[in-house]
Amino acid sequence: MCGIVGYIGTKKASPILINGLIRLEYRGYDSAGISTIEKEGLSIMKDQGRVKNLYNLDGIDKLEGTIGIAHTRWATHGKPSKENSHPHMDNEKTIGVVHNGIIENYNELRENLMQKGYTFYSQTDTEVVPNLINYYYKKETNKNKLGFLQAVKNACCDLKGSFALEIICKDFPDNMIVVRKDSPLVIGKGENENYISSDIPAILSFTKHFYLLNDLEYCILSRENAEFYDQNLKSIEKETESIEWNATSAEKDGFEDYMLKEIYEQPVAIRETVGAKLSENSKCEFNGLNFTKEYLKNINRIYIVACGTAMHAGLVGKNMIEKLCRIQTEVDIASEFRYRNPLIDEKTLCIFISQSGETADTIAALKLSKEQGAKTITITNVIGSSITREADYSLYTHAGPEIAVASTKAYTSQVILFATLAIYFAEILEINSEDVFTLKKDILELPKKIEETLKVSENIKDFAKKVYQEKDIFFLGRGIDETVAREGSLKLKEISYIHSESYAAGELKHGPIALIEKGITVIGIITDENLIEKTVSNLQEVITRGAKTLIITNQKVDNKMFDEVINIPCTNTLLSPILSIIPLQLFSYYISKEKGLDVDKPRNLAKSVTVE
Among 2, 156, 169, 219, the one annotated catalytic: 2
Is residue 350 flagged as an active site residue? no
Sheet holding 393-396, edge to edge: 329-333, 301-306, 348-354, 375-380, 393-396
Among 145, 466, 534, 607, the one annotated catalytic: 607
Separation between Cα atoms, residue 166 and residue 46, nearest integer Å = 16
DSSP string of 488-551? Answer: HHHHHHHHH--EEEEEEGGGGGGTGGGG--TT-EEEEEE--GGGHHHHHHHHHHHHTTT-EEEE
Separation between Cα atoms, residue 489 and residue 483, nearest integer Å = 10
Residues 6 or more apart in contact with residue 281 via CB below 8 angstroms: none
Residues 6 or more apart in contact with residue 303 via CB below 8 angstroms: 329, 330, 331, 332, 337, 342, 344, 348, 349, 350, 351, 369, 374
Residues 6 or more apart in contact with residue 187 via CB below 8 angstroms: 178, 194, 195, 196, 210, 211, 213, 219, 221, 226
Which amino acid, one-letter code, is at 530? N
Instruction: Check: CB of residue 75 under 8 Å from CB of residue 22.
Output: no
Q: What does residue 474 show for φ and ψ, rounded to 5 degrees?
A: -115, 145
H or E element, residue 301: strand 301-306
Catalytic residue ranges:
2, 607
